[in-house]
Amino acid sequence: MRINTELPKAAVENSAALLEAHRRLPPRPAELVGVSLDAEVDPKFPQAVGIASIRRITATIGNSKWEILHNDYDDSPFFTSDFPVAIERTDDLRILNRIVPLAPSLALRIRPDPTLDTRRADLSFAKFGYRSRNLGHEELVMLNRLIVQCAEETVFYRDDHQWVRPFISKNRHYRIEPHTSRVPTPTGTLLISTSRIVDSTAPVDQA
């Protein structure tokens, strides 16, 4: 709900700005002249959109390429959290992999297919594919770092190894934030929305 309010907020503000620029809205009261529009979106709205889109989302996940990730390092089990699906950037700016920890020794990497026709929910999962991999330690640490950084407030772990709390402490000030880019076009503005992991203690990027 928190993450998915950004796009409808940006869409409302963009539409209002276009309507105002083309004089399709009534004149503003004098006390509001020069005041920027700041839309508020009920978080229940993106939640309802997500519920209504459950078939399409299921079809997208089920027709993606999955990696079954095996962790053979007993001293470095997978974490999980109160937001137990981490995001991972790819070379394609449109695509974010999803990392889903299932057990201390098992996780999934789901690679969405950008060529899928998302308007049609193929629940036969005809394009589903998978491979199984044993992780190296460096990649395992990277994935655990993403899991901690994508948590909202709580990280869960099985074993209280000496390195665990310092590792969580180092990565605890991150979270997933929505990011919407506005690209001018001849007929208006194109909104490109994605999510990214940001340092919550850093200054807000207004780009």
> Domain for residue 45, yes or no?
no
> Domain for residue 153, yes or no?
yes
> Domain for residue 145, yes or no?
yes
Is the pLDDT at 45 greater than 90, yes or no? no
Terminal CA-CA length for the chain: 22
> Domain for residue 97, yes or no?
yes
Least confident of 2-16, 44-58, 105-119: 2-16
Question: What mean pLDDT comes out for the span 31-49?
Answer: 77
pLDDT at 205: 54
Question: What mean pLDDT comes out for the span 49-58?
Answer: 84
In the chain, where do the E strands start and end?
A: 65-70, 80-81, 86-89, 96-103, 106-111, 129-134, 155-156, 174-185, 188-199
Q: In whole angstroms, give the CA distance from residue 189 to residue 11.
A: 10
> Domain for residue 188, yes or no?
no
pTM for this structure?
0.77
Is the pLDDT at 203 greater than 70, yes or no? no
Q: In whole angstroms, give the CA distance from residue 148 to residue 141.
A: 11
Q: Which of 50, 35, 36 is nearest to 5 (CA)?
A: 50
> Domain for residue 2, yes or no?
no
* Structure confidence by residue, pLDDT tens digits, 64-117: 999 999 999 999 999 999 999 999 999 987 789 999 999 999 999 999 988 888
Question: What mean pLDDT comes out for the span 27-53?
Answer: 77
HEC readout, 162-173: CCHHHHHHHHCC
Is the pLDDT at 33 greater than 80, yes or no? no
> Domain for residue 70, yes or no?
yes
pLDDT at 206: 46
Domain range holding 105? 63-172
pLDDT at 27: 78
Is the pLDDT at 204 greater than 70, yes or no? no
* Number of domains into which the chain is organized: 1
pLDDT at 195: 87
Cβ(106)–Cβ(71) under 8 Å?
A: yes
* Structure confidence by residue, pLDDT tens digits, 156-176: 999 999 999 999 999 999 999
Cβ(191)–Cβ(14) under 8 Å?
A: yes
> Domain for residue 41, yes or no?
no
Q: Which residue has the higher pLDDT, 157 or 7?
A: 157
Q: Which of 81, 72, 90 is nearest to 144 (CA)?
A: 81
* Structure confidence by residue, pLDDT tens digits, 122-154: 899 999 999 999 999 999 999 999 999 999 999
Q: In whole angstroms, give the CA distance from residue 16 to residue 19.
A: 5
Q: In whole angstroms, give the CA distance from residue 80 to residue 139.
A: 16
